[in-house]
Structure 1
């Protein structure tokens, strides 16, 4: 059991080692005044402001995941009768080994999930004022062995190519909901957008507090200003060759008939699909929309339905643009907001396979 002093300190900071993941466990409440500084109204306000900025340093989904990582590790420690604080590289090495090769019927975690758990522990320890040395041999060598023994090739979602996206939008009706979903698919595809980026857009700058960006429609296309995963960036989406496939035209149609003049760009509709509501659309809708239109369009129809659904996700739109656009790689990299060309190449599913035959070039 922790000492009374340690218990008190953790409780006061809102970071108890057995807090539930959806409580304050993932919040950076450890930010506080120094012990020797007396509190005041102005200083307390600044503490709250600093905590708000600290929370904004990572997305809500990341913070929730880190909270769950800590809750799992703390539970594991309790079951072993040991303390999670302060960090012990030897202990964490054992924890990683247990995740990779658990006893009994508990399924082993994938290497990527184990690495994410380790990142979560590092973040949580930092919030508690501790440093976790991931290069310590008790952690680094165990993780290297897990990778060598259990690593598998990365599972990538299938890219939605040109003919696929055309077939998918062709399945949509021309009611209000269909106009919205057509704009979502075409805009997401042409912009190489993440599903969270699509639904976070507002019509204008500063329309809503939870805005992730805004749009500006021009003669040549639409300019998106996004507060994305890697920071602020601009995405240019030009007009297409025909109204039937043009993402900008589809967006204009949705805005006109839904009478969107303020607030979220994509909102929910009434059950009959004839009226636009005020609530912002969830990013889960984008994933469901992609899967449903893939089925309706008969894409990869040779596979069972379960396998077809597993092949595609929101990232299929980004991979589709990267794989279909026959332009200089740097333009694709800029559109996707990637920091490196190597990351962009991961999205280019099968595009460059056997384009250059080194066997023949070598004289064989």
Structure 2
């Protein structure tokens, strides 16, 4: 691999100047500008701002935050090794990937702690490609210095994906039973039951508004009908509708829990799930962060005594926001296509990854083949 020995004060040909500002997070200001031959005006400047807002909306906030961290890590690595992050050097990126996989850099390299998983390395590479694009460069991931190193990493270090534990029907019943009936308890009960019955991502839960177009950052809205609640959501696979029917018990019905929360919290506009005052008696205006859903799941898993035979640290690591989606996929004994539609998966294979206890040998090809 060829060497890139440029210092941080050099300039990239036909690109921006290189300095420590290259560690800045481009997600905070997407670099969209007018062409050099067009004179600015109030109208065009406002359109540039509007285009930047649309560009930032092209990916979720969590994805943008991850990409920002990816770039900051790579920029620090470049500074530690005495090279420039710009323009993209396939040779140096190949070395960076090798470092991530082996954890071989001497201290104080930021990657010296431990080798990263293949999935994390692939995510880092995607983050670099996105960040380079924001700076006007193209990262050729098919270049042999990148592609061959990544292929070798996959061959040597790839492992089956680590899946979070599914929250099954008996688990969710025990979890909601630990919650009180004050305002905070009503909200958290609605979050757990709605997330479980809808197979929702935690970001989808907190992005819901009461009505369509209530807020600019809305990820969907709800309609409460006679037979259940209809959720219209936007996510990784585009817009979809999620039908949540009424439950067989008032205590565990997700639709009733949602209606109770909205009624007692006096919410008729804007975000469905918001924070509460310290005394738990008053709903606030600010939308909940999706991290609240993950913390809620972990806390109620512990309070309900789920997998109590294991140490607390292991139990906390086993469950996450995805445990709700996996729980629905594993517990709903219906045709697989209905589960796939509810989860918003593009393929049945993806849905099967969420099914922790499906009947794997319902079709016996061994006997069917005459053995």
In the superposition, the TM-score normalised over structure 1's length comes to: 0.92
What are the equivalent positions in structure 2 for 1:1-364 lying under 5 Å apart? 1=7, 6=12, 10=16, 18-19=20-21, 23-27=24-28, 29-101=30-102, 102-104=104-106, 106=112, 107-359=114-366
Deviation at residue 229 of structure 1 after TM alignment:
2.8
Once the two structures are TM-superposed, the CA of residue 32 in structure 1 deviates from its matched residue by 1.4
Structure 1 stretch displaced more, 208-217 or 190-199? 208-217
Query: What's the CA shift for 1:363?
Result: 5.8
* Shift in alpha-carbon separation, 1:17–1:226, aligned structure 2, 3 A: farther
- Give the 3 Å change call, closer, same or farther, for CA 297–356 of structure 1 in structure 2: farther
**How far off is 1:187 after superposition?**
0.4
Q: Secondary structure at the match of 2:142?
A: coil
- Between the aligned partners of 2:357 and 2:256, the Cα distance in structure 1 is 30
Task: Compare 64-73 and 146-155 and name the one that shifted more.
Answer: 64-73
Q: In the TM superposition, what is the alpha-carbon distance from 1:44 to its structure 2 partner?
A: 2.0
Alpha-carbon distance in 1 for matches of 2:55, 2:284: 33
Q: Contact 1:183 / 1:250 at 8 angstroms: preserved in 2? A: yes
SS in 1 for 2:275: strand
Which stretch of the first structure deviates more once superposed, 336-345 or 31-40? 31-40
Q: Distance in 1 between matches of 2:295 and 2:30?
A: 36
Aligned-partner Cα distance in 2 for 1:214–1:248: 14
Shift of 1:179: 1.4
> Secondary structure, in 3 states, of the residue corresponding to 1:235?
strand
SS in 2 for 1:204: coil
Match of 2:4 in 1: none
CA distance in 2: counterparts of 1:149 and 1:56, whole angstroms = 37
Unaligned segments of structure 2, at least 5 residues: 1-6
Task: State the distance in 2 between where 1:292 and 1:349 align.
Answer: 22
- Maintained 8 Å contact 1:2/1:83: yes
What SS does structure 1 have at the residue aligned with 2:242? strand
> For 1:358 and 1:218, how far apart are their aligned partners in 2?
45
Which secondary structure does the structure 1 equivalent of 2:250 belong to? coil
Structure 1 residues 272 and 38, CA gap change in structure 2 (3 angstroms): closer
RMSD: 2.2
The alignment of Structure 1 onto Structure 2 pairs a total of residues equal to 359
CA distances 1:117-148 after superposition (whole Å, capped 9, x unpaired) = 11011111112222111112111110011111
Greater Cα shift, 101-110 or 246-255 = 101-110
Secondary structure of the 1:19 match is helix
Distance 1:48 1:252 in 2: 39
Contact 1:202 1:213 in 2 (8 A): yes
For the residue of structure 1 that corresponds to 2:54, the secondary structure is helix
Asked if the contact 2:209/2:219 (under 8 Å) is kept, the reply is: yes
Residues of 2 paired with 1:111 and 1:19: CA distance? 29
Q: Is the 1:28–1:127 Cα contact (8 Å) retained in structure 2?
A: no
TM-score (norm 2): 0.90
Shift of 1:97: 0.7
Contact kept? 2:25, 2:72, Cα under 8 Å: no
Structure 1: stretches of 5+ with no match in the other structure: none
Following superposition, the deviation at residue 296 of structure 1 comes to 1.6
CA distance in 1, matches of 2:297, 2:10: 53
